[in-house]
Amino acid sequence: MLLHIPHVLNAEQLRLVRDKLHHAGDAWVDGRVTAGHQGAQVKHNLQIDEHSAVAVELGDVILEALERHPQFISAALPNHVYPPMFNQYRGGMQFGSHVDGAIRLIPGSRAKIRTDISATLFLTDPADYDGGELMIEDTYGVHPVKLAAGHMILYPATSLHQVNPITRGTRLASFFWIQSMIRDDAQRTLLFDLDSAIQRLTQSGADTAALVQLTGSYHNLLRMWTDI
């Protein structure tokens, strides 16, 4: 499932995050420090040291926002969320075609997560830079993604993807991964569609008994497929 999640961060949160990133100084490092063998060969960007105080502070801002975003919860059904990371593309920087690693070690711990879902949260307005599209490949072709600041894209971590070269300006974004309670993307999609339909029917004043039955089916499928 390729899903646009709008308004993850509001204007005040965006100002805070961008200001902290613009003044991060030595916390910006070569993006290849966290890339695997495949990614290091095609990754040309900067990112915030994930152990730095600014990464932790801003990551908490995003995690708190996600906890309050019902569409994210419904779509991702998160079990664990990797601490958000931050990158910067400017002056021709790009990230060539790659697939994200299947397992990530949580910084500062021995805990690992399985990367079921990849997320990119855009922090720069599209009018402020040229290029920098996130290109995501699936069965139906290649999809260019360049969202408004504060908006996020979710996509299967199994997807082949890349970031096009920047030809003007600077692109700031946060990126991270989610281990879902539902490992299978098709099952997550079905549950998200069912949950969305239940919410719309509830708002329309649909038959209460039918809604109870549909909600029961949703939770029984969740119980059947949950991987926790």
Known binding-site residues for Fe cation equal 98, 100, 161
Q: What is the CA radius of gyration of the chain?
A: 18
φ, ψ for residue 136 (rounded to 5)? Answer: -115, 125
**Which strand ranges, in their side-by-side order, compose the sheet holding 134-138?**
43-44, 94-98, 160-163, 134-138, 141-145
Euclidean distance between CA atoms 85 and 191, whole angstroms: 28
Q: What tokens were used for 170?
A: 């600077």
Known binding-site residues for 2-oxoglutarate equal: 171
- Compute the 3-state secondary structure of the chain and give helix, strand, coil in percent, each to the nearest 5: 35, 35, 30
Q: What tokens were used for 131?
A: 């290029």
Q: What tokens were used for 184?
A: 């299978």
Q: What tokens were used for 71?
A: 């569409």
Known binding-site residues equal: 98, 100, 161, 171
Return all residues near 31 (Cβ < 8 A) that are at least 6 apart: 43, 44, 45, 46, 47, 87, 95
Cβ neighbours of 138 (radius 10 Å): 16
